[in-house]
Amino acid sequence: MLPYSSTPAKVIVIVSPFFEPNVGGVETHLSDYVKALALRNRRAVVATFQPLVDGSAAAVCEQRGSVTIYRARWLQGNYFNAFEKSIPLQFLYLVPACLFQALRVLVRVGHRNVEVLHGHGIAAGLVVAILGRLFRKRSVVSIHAIYELTPGSMKANLIRLALAGNAAVLCLSDDSLREMISIGLDPRTTDRFSYWLDTDIFRYDSLPHNREALALPTAAPMLLFVGRLIEKKGLRKVLCAMRSHPEIHLMVIGDGPDRAALEGEAAHLAGVTFLGRKTNEETAQYYRAADALIVPSEYAEGFGRVVAEALCCGAYVYASNRGGLPEAVGEDGSLFEPNEAGIDGILDDLERNYWRYRGTRAARAAAAAGRFSERNCDALLARLCAAAPRTARDRREAC
């Protein structure tokens, strides 16, 4: 672990509109973050909501070791997806409620006990910047997405103004970092962070052993998709291409509003299986059973956490050449244009080379375990502590 120091009694306040049992890359990252803080006996609180998208419910207050999670109820439904392309509407939907929930949490823990405010996403970034200025506390925001911003546009200017009040803006990929600097954020306080994985869950094991455990055929080339079942994730085009590749088995993990329509399109494809939602442990077993993961996203992914998960389990990765995906894949997979020709090309490649990819699984998993180890968590904590103190008292107590 990288060395860092801190006042043990101080509290990290994590602010995010999304948290488990919501499903997504950010939610899984935050779960790993909470687990890592608890293992280090670091005091933290999470200010979040009951699941906003699927309408499910979770504990209002939950304790995970040294970390307390507070979930408030807010408008549930498809609002976030409906407002996704409009930053003003996102702000109206999320910022007031997020600010109120974060204030309630600050009252509970006492603002004098706060070490740093850590927001996740644009709306939470604005919230922690406001609270940081109000209570003279350091605030840091982690950015998990790429917004495809045009410098000087209204959207870019709103995001710049929302984030500029933070002591640091941490970006998940080099593409995101370049984007944030291009819209006018200070390059001296705009930096990178990296995901880490629970390598007790996402770990290498032999492919035949996992296929046997899952009652899957041992010899056939097998492809895996993991993600929300929505149009921009690109699964529809994969299903179209599968008609010409009956030898390949495709397993689909995930759920979403397009599931019924996609299952209908796949009804005549004998090699396609929809598995629904799976736990991390169950998903990891399917990674270990698959020859390759396919990530056919038609938009700029912030990074693509599923890429890291698959690589740590030894699977090869085919990913679209969008956003942070090329960086996540590195040299352990292949990139393609997310259109019919591009997808057909990677299915051809899988049919020709899946035996060769099986021979490099252990080396691929070992390399990924190094890239996505908990050293990345220690680096993040060190960066949080290094965020510039706002007051003389903060400077005396800072890391």
pLDDT band with cut points at 50, 70 and 90 for residue 363: very high
**Mean pLDDT along residues 124-145:** 96
Q: Is 129 helix (H, G, I), strand (E, B) or coil?
A: helix
Mean pLDDT of the chain: 91
**Mean pLDDT along residues 285-309:** 95
pLDDT band with cut points at 50, 70 and 90 for residue 222: very high
Q: How many residues does the chain have?
A: 399
The CA-based dihedral angle spanning residues 193, 198, 199, 201, taken in that order and rounded to the nearest 10 degrees:
-150
* pTM, entire model: 0.88
Q: What pLDDT, in 10s, does the model give residues 44-89?
A: 999 999 988 777 789 999 999 999 999 999 887 767 766 777 788 8
pLDDT band with cut points at 50, 70 and 90 for residue 2: very low
Domains 11-196+374-393 and 207-371 share a fold: yes
State in Å, rounded, how far the first CA of the chain is from the last one: 16
Q: What is the CA radius of gyration of the chain?
A: 21
* Position 123 pLDDT exceeds 60: yes
CA-to-CA distance for 256 and 384, rounded, in angstroms? 34
pLDDT band with cut points at 50, 70 and 90 for residue 190: very high
Of 3.10.129.10, 2.60.40.1840, 3.40.50.11240, 3.40.50.2000, the CATH number of 207-371 is 3.40.50.2000
What residues contact residue 326 under an 8 Å CB cut-off, 6+ apart? 319, 335
* Position 119 pLDDT exceeds 70: yes
Q: What pLDDT, in 10s, does the model give residues 7-54?
A: 445 899 999 999 998 878 899 999 999 999 999 999 999 999 998 877
Instruction: Tell me 246's DSSP state.
Output: T
* Position 1 pLDDT exceeds 80: no
CA-to-CA distance for 177 and 169, rounded, in angstroms? 9
CA-to-CA distance for 375 and 24, rounded, in angstroms? 23
Distance from chain centroid for Cα 151: 25
Q: Which numeric CATH code is attached to 11-196+374-393?
A: 3.40.50.2000
**Mean pLDDT along residues 220-241:** 95
Q: Which residues pair with 318 in a beta bridge?
A: 294, 334
CA-to-CA distance for 247 and 222, rounded, in angstroms? 9
**What are the backbone dihedrals phi and psi of residue 249, each rounded to the nearest 5 degrees, phi first?**
-95, 130
**Amino acid 90: pLDDT:** 86
Q: What pLDDT, in 10s, does the model give residues 232-260?
A: 999 999 999 999 999 999 999 999 889 99
E-strand spans in 291-375? 292-295, 316-320, 333-336
CA-to-CA distance for 28 and 19, rounded, in angstroms? 8
Domain ranges of the chain: 11-196+374-393, 207-371
CB atoms within 10 A of CB 289: 24
> How far, CA to CA in Å, does 384 sit from each of 371, 377, 381?
20, 11, 5
What residues contact residue 393 under an 8 Å CB cut-off, 6+ apart? none
